[in-house]
Structure 1
């Protein structure tokens, strides 16, 4: 190996290229041309004495050693950022970027004072740059696992190794239909009639989870609550929605909860972080502030 410690700039370019799955896709994020990216990648491979990736007509892919090097690079950059935060904390100030992730459609959830926490955090630590992303449960966990996110909040039915899950609260879901659906005006609906309706499932639900919610299969699949709401409002489907999110349409008479005594569940929300990072200043201060806000609620 010609150089045991490659330039950090080259490492960050490498991580960005992998994240965007190719040189061309990474151009905008890096503000570099494909030829410049190619040059930097060649410099990194030359310094390491390794071929990290395949590129060309067959598309972009990492070699087996490239996969291993990518994971180690993510770990190194994460630790470096944590060190920079510690150094700033020693001077009595918090600096850096705090990368947060959250499920969609949580803004209407009074049980999660997320906006209030962000406001208070920004007021206390104005030098910290916040980066907020809305993702699916799987994407949130993956983002925290590979250090693209520092903290994430969501409901995680399938847990990943290497993460810490801190319970927060439970989100109530009901099974809804809209005024356009044939069942909307029915007074007494047998359970078996409901389970035969065209139902909207979520892309991150397993077959077992779908069955736990009372259905053998779904007739449509969504990746967000807004998409689920649209399909339910169409009248062609029924589907589960968070109570707080559906309430505005239910109050207007556009949605109805079907057999609440039978079809309803509570999704346990957690805050997640990568194991070994919980005491980093940016993460710890945000975590403590959120917990304090929840205790006041």
Structure 2
């Protein structure tokens, strides 16, 4: 009882924390952070699916364990759906608001859209239970089409009421043998189908992991592009400041050179004028 209460309390705290994080991402329009939150959900869902499949194959597992795990899986999928709705709202605000859209290039907007569609597709596959083990594969070992031995024997009273010739009895036994062989073949086909379904489930899990990995790489690339764009903006501002400072220095030097030239010219004219007047005073 205490363990169940602890698990419920932890689950409640996780939901509250997840909701608070999603609200913060929505307020900040942080697409990358919200997408990363969804990837965390997908990783947990994939782990739940693997554990659930192991419990289904383990005949000694307690039924409550599978019920609890299914409940956790359902809750995690519901949280992921709510967070995906928040991510869609973030995308819509970025696209429809000029103030935020101008921060992104067309290629970055396309990457956001592709990421949103990939996450939506992945979550839809979880919601439609494509990763679960079908009932046919689960119960195939309990299916049997063998005819009971009592159906193959003829009592003395039955033979007395309905006489059967040896030929008819041989034909009946041959037909029963064929039916058994057909049922055994059909049962083996069911087992092969069940194994094929399990393999398909494993492939689906692998595809889900790869899709999640690709989405994670796309988010990392988008984050790097955003950081590079921010760095380029800072460098551009620094270049502008250097150019302005250089132009100021050049202007000051030009003014100084012109002033110095005028001063030298004035002195030259002064001395020239003084020399000319000095010669006129001589006899």
Bigger CA radius of gyration = 2
**TM-score, scaled relative to structure 2:** 0.23
Q: TM-score, normalised by structure 1?
A: 0.22
Higher strand fraction: Structure 1 or Structure 2? 1
By percentage of residues, which structure has more helix? 2
